[in-house]
Amino acid sequence: MSKRGRMSGNEAVALAIRQIDPDVIAAFPITPSTEIPQFVSRFKADGLISTEFITVESEHSAMSACIGAEATGVRAMTATSSAGMALMYEVLYVAASDRLPIVLAAVNRALTGPININAEHSDSMGARDSGWIQIYSENAQEAYDNMLMAHRIGEHPDVMLPVMICQDGFITSHAIENILTEDDAKVKAFVGTYEPEHHLLDPNRSVAIGPYGVSPYVFELKRAQAYAMEQAKGVILSVAKDFEKEFGRSYGFFEEYRMDDAEFAVLLMGSAAGTGKVAVDRLRGRGVKAGLVKLRSFRPFPAEALAEALGGKNKNLKSLAVMDRSEGFGGFGGPLGAEIRAALFGRTNGLKVVNIIYGLGGRDIRVEDFEDLYKELDAMQGMEARDIPYVRYLGQREI
């Protein structure tokens, strides 16, 4: 039976790690993810986990140690943020190409520069094409639940890819929230054991992990990675279904909030979804048909399912704001905005779309900001599509 409690997102992730009791954790501290390895080291000192805890000299070394451990056939995990993740970028690609299902707790923080320690998605967006599965959390509950599902997803024989569980720095990681947690034994049973088909310590089968990739083989290896990422879509939904049966909480690629008859909607990832939902409820009370879509799985990107939700089954939807907590710097808007536009191309009839960049460097977004944004979406109905800006900045002071 679920237990009610109160804890921060970092505490929730650390609790999930304790319950999973992975074989190896390698970590280097960086704000705002530092608390996660801190909690884990305390669990280790108190004899609550059997995990081998490796203190390393950098985040590059942390991921390298996880790769070495996972290659021997054991479960490895780590946590990081911001410049720490950027220092890992080289080895993130190695982990994915070697098909090692490491789990990373990513506490999203703005990349330097200038130095800033607050929430932004620029760190994980920088790794969006590294071959890692990326799942985003709105609150502490989702951060905990997503961690419990991560190993089941990444270790599935049809997938065998590393998994990044993301939550917003300080907003989620440090804020205390009500949360339901599960019994240790039930979590252990749900997560199961890790028994990879190939690993370096198998005495009956010699394998090479991470050798030099010569030209005649690299293309096929990359294509196999891409195929595994596509296979992960079905696995994510299957694991979520099992999770709902066991613990009663339901997840999919994304959550549709009051979208059945919505005429105006925003689509976003992370903690701002909670603020957006309050605005939707307020507007519904005034007769405005507002809705919200919160994307959970950014990699693999559920393009077909999103196109169906936004343009196929919902014939009422007139305008959409796609919200990015990351700047694309000369790209076609923010990363999420560009991908949503690509997913919708040719699949929606007359839907007007604007990309909104918001919350950079941890800037607050208020309920009133969402309400104003929905007014803009309504006003877009009287505009020609060519007159709607591709990108707009929300909450920026005038320059």
Mean pLDDT of the region 293-297: 98
Which DSSP state fits 21? -
* Helical (H) or strand (E) element with 245: helix 215-247
Q: How confident is the model at residue 82 (pLDDT cuts 50, 70, 90)?
A: very high
pLDDT at 399 over 80: no
- SS3 at position 163: strand
pLDDT per position as a tens digit, 305-341: 999 999 877 789 999 999 999 999 999 899 999 999 9
Q: Which of 290, 320, 324 is nearest to 307 (CA)?
A: 320
Distance CA 33, CA 83 (A): 12
Q: How confident is the model at residue 382 (pLDDT cuts 50, 70, 90)?
A: confident
Distance CA 356, CA 147 (A): 29
Q: Which of 130, 143, 132, 201 is nearest to 171 (CA)?
A: 143
What percent of the chain has a predicted confidence (pLDDT) above 90?
Answer: 93
| Residue carrying structure tokens 């309504």 | 378
pLDDT for residue 348: 81
Distance CA 332, CA 341 (A): 9
Which DSSP state fits 310? I
Mean pLDDT of the region 182-188: 98
User: Tokens for 143?
Assistant: 């951060």
Q: Which of 291, 293, 288 is nearest to 344 (CA)?
A: 293
Distance CA 32, CA 8 (A): 12
User: What is the C-alpha R_g of the chain?
Assistant: 21
Point out the least confidently predicted range of 19-23, 42-46, 208-212, 255-259. Answer: 208-212
Mean pLDDT of the region 17-40: 98
What is the overall mean pLDDT for the chain? 96
pLDDT per position as a tens digit, 237-267: 999 999 999 999 999 999 999 999 999 999 9
pLDDT for residue 53: 97
CATH class of 3-247: alpha beta
pLDDT for residue 315: 80
Distance CA 310, CA 65 (A): 42
Which residue type, as a one-letter code, is found at position 185?
A: A
Point out the least confidently predicted range of 19-33, 54-68, 372-386. Answer: 372-386
User: Tokens for 218?
Assistant: 């690299």
- SS3 at position 198: coil
282: how many CB neighbours lie within 10 A of its CB? 16
User: In the chain, what is the straight-line distance between the N-terminal and C-terminal CA atoms, in Å?
Assistant: 54
184: how many CB neighbours lie within 10 A of its CB? 14
pLDDT for residue 374: 98
Which DSSP state fits 323? E
pLDDT at 398 over 70: yes
Q: Which fold has domain 254-394?
A: Rossmann fold (3.40.50)
Mean pLDDT of the region 181-197: 97
pLDDT per position as a tens digit, 39-60: 999 999 999 999 999 999 999 9
- Answer yes or no: are the C-beta atoms of 79 and 27 closer than 8 Å: yes
Residues sharing a CB contact under 8 Å with residue 218, sequence separation 6 or more, in sequence order = none
pLDDT at 90 over 80: yes
Q: Same fold for the domain at 3-247 and the one at 254-394?
A: yes
- Answer yes or no: are the C-beta atoms of 369 and 359 closer than 8 Å: no
* Angle at the Cα of 241 from the Cα atoms of 238 and 243, rounded to 5 degrees: 110
Listed by start position, the domains of the chain span 3-247, 254-394
